[in-house]
């Protein structure tokens, strides 16, 4: 099967990190997930000019959280890549939004956790209006809600939301960046 059919390539190579986020090796995606190894990821919370937050419905072909609502954009950090470099790349790959690294504001650095898929996660905010071109093998659709509406919806229907998003919405840096109460 091609990446387009499965939503990700099992042959991607990611850095394996220790509990201090120090690189200790490299491994194929499939092995990292199979063995529960600690690795790195990014999440982007995109706020339009009207204050609405972009939520991504993940492709039903994804191996993790298929069809569930997630942050605007999320992805793994490839081996040798920086968190910020991964954020810029993932935005372009998933949503067709091409921005410079300075357009992304880092708002949180979450330690690895089972709810995050054993990933250290750096979260960024993107503000403004941008045209999108969705990558169908990555993204089923996007929808827009205020951060307050998102929080209420996630609380009333948690089964519709990817576990990493629910985890990140509880973190103070993300909450502050989205204007949610502490």
Instruction: Confirm if 168 and 73 have CB atoms less than 8 A apart.
Output: no
Residue with tokens 């909450």, as numbered in its chain: 175
Residues 6+ apart with CB under 8 A from 57: 67, 68, 69, 70, 139, 140, 141, 142, 143
5 — pLDDT class (breaks 50, 70, 90): very low
Domains detected in the chain: 3-173 (3.90.79.10)
pLDDT confidence band for 28 (50 / 70 / 90)? very high
Q: What is the pTM of this model?
A: 0.93
Q: Comparing C-alpha atoms, which of 14, 63, 62 is closest to residue 39?
A: 14
According to the model, what pLDDT value does residue 10 have? Answer: 65
Long-range contacts of 102-106 (CB under 8 A, 24+ apart): 103/128, 104/44, 105/177
pLDDT digits (tens, 9 = 90+) for 86-108: 999 999 999 999 999 999 999 99
pLDDT at 39 over 90: yes
Higher-confidence residue of 5 and 79: namely 79
């Amino acid at each position: 099967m091609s990446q387009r059919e499965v939503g990700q390539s099992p042959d991607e190579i990611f850095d394996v990190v220790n509990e201090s986020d120090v690189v200790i090796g490299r491994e194929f995606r499939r092995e990292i997930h199979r063995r529960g190894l600690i690795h790195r990821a990014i999440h982007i919370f995109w706020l339009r000019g009207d204050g609405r937050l972009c939520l991504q419905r993940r492709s039903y072909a994804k191996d993790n959280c298929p069809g569930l609502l997630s942050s605007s954009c999320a992805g793994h950090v490839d081996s040798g890549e920086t968190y910020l470099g991964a954020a810029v790349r993932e935005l372009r790959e998933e949503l067709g939004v091409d921005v410079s690294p300075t357009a992304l504001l880092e708002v949180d650095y979450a330690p690895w956790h089972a709810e995050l898929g054993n990933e250290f996660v750096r979260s960024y905010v993107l503000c403004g209006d941008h045209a999108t071109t969705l990558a169908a093998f990555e993204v089923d659709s996007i929808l827009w809600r205020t951060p307050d509406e998102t929080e209420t919806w996630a609380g009333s229907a948690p089964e519709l939301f990817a576990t990493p998003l629910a985890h990140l919405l509880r973190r103070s840096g993300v909450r502050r960046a989205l204007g949610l109460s502490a």
